[in-house]
Amino acid sequence: MTDQPIKGPASYFPSIEKKYGRPIAEWKAIVRQGYPAKHMELVALLKTGHGMGHGHANAIVAHTLAEDKA
């Protein structure tokens, strides 16, 4: 078996945890508290309410929504 590099939104997770000082589980919980808002509304929540950059906020929201859709 070979270790495959992490792709997609999850590839941002290590830098998000380092930059904002919270584990991804906490960020996902914040996103879920914002339900049933739409994708971009949740991105805006992280950006305005928590000072997160657009790419990082989008990655967390996309991953969380995909996880909950499954």
21-32 pLDDT, tens digit per residue, is 999 999 999 999
Per-residue model confidence (pLDDT) at position 2: 55
DSSP string, 49-60: HH---HHHHHHH
Per-residue model confidence (pLDDT) at position 55: 96
CA 47/CA 66 separation, integer angstroms: 20
Model confidence pLDDT, tens digit, residues 9-68: 888 999 999 999 999 999 999 999 999 999 999 999 999 999 999 999 999 999 999 999
CA 54/CA 32 separation, integer angstroms: 18
